[in-house]
Structure 1
Amino acid sequence: MRMADFFNEAGMLRHTPRSGYAFLGSGAENVAEHSFRTAVMGYALARMAGADAARTTLLCLFHDLHEARTGDFNYVNHRYNTCRAKEALDDAVCGTGLEEDMGVFWTEWTESGTTEAALAHDADQLDLIFNLKTELDKGNTFALEWLESAVRRLTTPQARLMAAAALRTDHNRWWYGRVEKSWWVHRK
């Protein structure tokens, strides 16, 4: 069944590393991890903006699906190579019954003419921003240069607001900084 092949192909994103971290010198993630948090962020940004949250989430979820076939092209790769991403996506969904939906998502993502597409692109950058802030917190000062570029790529006020929050928040606060310090000793 063609859909089973498609599901297996989507599973390859778990094994497809995001290639930029080699240049950063620290950090790691795969495309599936990136796509998941990007989708969560896209949903939240759309809710903040009063946009179509479901549509934004779907744009985020599928924006890198082609990378199961092409791999992740980092910024250096893009300077010297071309990626036939649309062809890879078309081949991935051929015979699944998802061709039309994926084509519509692809067009909206690449043309970036809707609020939802702008929010989805910003969610893509926000995931990177949050990862870079984590690496900065762990001592990789080179991440600061990348952060500055990534923040400048944001286009929506909602994403800019979240980036500012990320930059002033310790990445461990959500779990370590929200309980009394004595809890970590006594756990009561």
Structure 2
Amino acid sequence: MHEPDRPPIPALLTILEHACALKRLPRTGWLLNGVVPCESIADHTTGVALLTLALADALNADWQAQGLERPLDVGRALTLAVLHDLAESRVTDLPKRSTTLIGADVKRCAENEAFSMIVGALPAANDYTSLWREYVEDASPEARLVHDADALEMVHQALLYERAGHRTLDEFWRGHRWHYRLCEQLFDVLRNARS
């Protein structure tokens, strides 16, 4: 932690360094399927954040009809979206096949350690760590929304890559579990656009 009278300059520089790493690191699943060049982790995070914002506003327009007990906290959802892949700046973007081999628990442990190292010296480190765990554990309506936005952004990117001629991306369309009906409807629209 930093002293209250001294700004946390080293901690802020650490965040900048990790943001730059996310801009350089490709999304590995695309590379393994022959998409070169492909989006970076930062590209994906930006898409997830923007989609989270739009989805949260759309869901909040009639939050009771969406089965929510309260309107979504848009600021919280955006923070979760921005933080959701930050650990990948150290762990990298491990594709599904790697996670299957090493196990989800090992991956989660590594990401947890990486996340703590990245944000540990920031004044809001405890808050960020709690939010990141909230996302990982799907522990709030906002976290569930970001999970949906994460999958939808990936599916949309797969559609764009398919339109550019890539034909090996079926795996990105399978196995989704939607938390919100609106997200499921959007997925259906994207899936129908494939044909």
TM-score (norm 1): 0.82
> Could you say which residue in structure 2 is the equivalent of 1:22?
31
Letter in 2 for 1:43: L
> Are residues 1:95 and 2:110 paired?
no
CA distance in 1, matches of 2:43, 2:113: 23
Separation of aligned partners in 1, 2:183 and 2:75: 17
Secondary structure of residue in 2 paired with 1:140: coil
Partner residue, 1:113: 139
Using the alignment, how far apart are the partners of 2:162 and 2:143 within structure 1? 28
State the distance in 2 between where 1:159 and 1:39 align.
Answer: 15
1:78 lines up with 2:99 in the alignment: yes
**Counterparts in 2 of 1:33 and 1:141: CA distance versus 1, 3 Å:** same
% same residue: 23
What are the residue-to-residue correspondences of 1:4-153 with 2, within 5 Å? Answer: 4-26=13-35, 28-50=38-60, 51-81=72-102, 82-83=106-107, 84-143=110-169, 145-149=170-174, 152-153=176-177
Q: Deviation of residue 156 (structure 1)?
A: 1.5
Look up the SS of the partner of 2:26 in the other structure: coil
Separation in structure 1 between the aligned mates of residue 178 and residue 31 of structure 2, nearest angstrom? 23
Paired residues in the alignment total: 168
Q: Shift of the alpha carbon at 1:46? A: 1.2
1:158 CA drift (Å): 1.6
Q: CA RMSD in A?
A: 1.7
Q: Is the 8 A contact 1:13 1:67 kept in 2?
A: yes
TM superposition shift of 1:169: 4.5
Task: For 2:172 and 2:118, locate their aligned partners in 1 and report how far apart those are by CA, in whole Å.
Answer: 33
Matched letter for residue 30 of structure 1: S
TM-score, normalised on structure 2? 0.79
Please tell me whether the aligned partners of residues 56 and 145 of structure 2 are also in contact (alpha carbons under 8 angstroms).
Answer: yes
Indicate conservation of the 8 Å contact 1:46/1:119, yes or no.
Answer: yes
Unaligned runs of 5+ in 2: 1-8, 61-71
**Residues 135-176 of structure 1: per-residue CA shift (max 9 Å, x gap):** 222232332x224315x3333112112222323458xxxxxx
On the 8 A contact 1:133/1:147 being kept in 2, the answer is no
Q: More relative contact order in 1 or in 2 (CA 8 Å, sep 6+)?
A: 2
Contact 1:10-1:68 at 8 Å conserved across structures? yes
Q: 2: CA distance between counterparts of 1:52 and 1:5? A: 28
Distance in structure 1 (CA, Å) of the matches to 2:173 and 2:39: 20
